[in-house]
Amino acid sequence: MIRELFELAAVLGCTLFTGAAVYITAVEHPARLSCGTKVAATQWAPSYKRATVMQVPLAFVGGLAGIVRWAQGGGPLWGWAALLLLAVIPFTLIVIRPTNHQLLEPERDLGSDETRGLLEKWGRLHGVRSALSLLASILFVLAATR
């Protein structure tokens, strides 16, 4: 029963994270960019802050549960999936965060070409988070169904 709870937490945390990440990458961010740079930058800031509150716990819980399941003898897929999911945290902090800070600068001209470039860069970087979590989701589901 304990194993199943960790499996559920890993799969559910990861797939919920992935669903949100893929939605942002494939739907929300392209839609905001289509509204013009100033509107996109204005909408990006609160969306980013709200998504962070949701996605950080999902990545942490899913990754930690996967590590526990791997440590319980669940096999290497649990460990690899957990590492892929947990990798989104340092990737965000080290690679994406500088772009976030630039976009959140109070003196930023939200309609500028530079802002547009930063938003486009952010979208590409966020796509990496989506890909990592999607691969982790696939591995977690494979591990859980074996």
Spans of all domains in the chain: 2-145
Contact 106, 47 (CB under 8 A): no
- Tens digits of per-residue pLDDT, 34-75? 999 999 999 999 999 999 999 999 999 999 999 999 999 999
Alpha-carbon span 136 to 77, nearest angstrom: 9
Helix axes 2-23, 76-91, angle to 10 degrees: 40
Asked if the model's pLDDT at residue 80 lies above 90, the reply is: yes
Separation of CA 11 from chain center: 15
Asked if the model's pLDDT at residue 1 lies above 90, the reply is: no
Task: Give residue 146's pLDDT band: very low, low, confident or very high (50, 70, 90).
Answer: confident
- Tens digits of per-residue pLDDT, 95-121? 999 999 999 999 999 999 999 999 999
